[in-house]
Amino acid sequence: MRIISGLLIVLSFVFVQCGAKNEVNANLILVELYPDRLILEQKQIKKNDFEEELKTVVDKKIDEGFKKDELTIVLKVEKNTRRGDVADVEMSMRRLNVRKLKFSIFEKKTSTH
């Protein structure tokens, strides 16, 4: 009986910690930009639709209780992406009044097969 009680306590703790981690990152909006595609919140979209799709995500975050100044765009850009594509993302952010940005550049991994 003590073993079951102990397991329930441990499982409860794990679930609470997982939930707390998700709440900490709930204000983040993930964007991945490649030369040939754009991914918003793990969904590939057309570059021309980015601002509209971003507005939908921002509105959803606001409905969840966040203010725009609490939202942060996490922008990961593949090294060979054109600067103009990055500027388009930044312009959309400005128009939607989302000002916080975490920016990183990565190099696409090539397979060694």
What's the distance, CA 22 to chain centroid?
A: 12
- In angstroms, the Cα distances linking 30 to 3, 20, 27, 93 are 41, 19, 10, 13
State pLDDT tens for residues 10-49: 656 655 555 444 466 899 999 999 999 999 999 999 999 9
Residue with token string 């204000």? 27
pLDDT score for 108: 76
**In the CATH scheme, what is the code of domain 27-106?**
3.30.420
Domain boundaries, the chain: 27-106
Q: What pTM does this model have?
A: 0.75
